[in-house]
Amino acid sequence: MGKLIRNISPAFHWYMQRITAMILVVGLFVHFWVLHFAIERPVTFEKVQDRLLSPGWVFFDVILLIAVIYHAFNGLYNVISDYNPRPALQKIIAWTLIFVGAIIVIYGILALLPFTRQGGV
């Protein structure tokens, strides 16, 4: 994806892949710990909604969502690029991944929004 925008070096995406990996390791550990140890059993819809009433948890979930999508789609692009597709096809693939990734992030954020209001869903 580094060739899509002239001012962004491919090294930027290399670093972002590593940064999002670190975010994922920490984020998934926190997510697992909260859902399996911090919330009193059984985990119910109401308990999850109570947690999401906190702006901090919503921010955490949005950052985790963006990190997952970027990491997955950048990795997929790198795997596809290893097969050396023609430059035109590579550009189509890159823009398709950007578009689909943006749609998934927007959909994920819209799915979280109802949980941010008391009695929201």
**Using one digit for the tens of pLDDT, what is the confidence trace for 69-82?**
999 999 999 999 99
Secondary structure letter of residue 37 according to DSSP: I
Q: Is the pLDDT of residue 109 over 80?
A: yes
Task: Report the C-alpha gap between 82 and 75 in whole angstroms.
Answer: 11
Asked if the structure places residue 41 within a domain, the reply is yes
pLDDT band at 44 (very low <50, low <70, confident <90, very high): confident
User: Residues 97-117: what's their mean pLDDT?
Assistant: 93
Task: Count other Cβ atoms within 10 Å, centred on residue 120.
Answer: 11
Q: Is the pLDDT of residue 4 over 70?
A: no
pLDDT value at position 75? 96
Global pTM value: 0.86
Backbone angles phi, psi at 72, to 5 degrees: -65, -45
34 in Cβ contact with 70 (< 8 Å): no
Residue 85's domain comprises 10-116
Q: How many domains does the chain have?
A: 1
Question: For residue 76, what is the domain's CATH number?
Answer: 1.20.1300.10
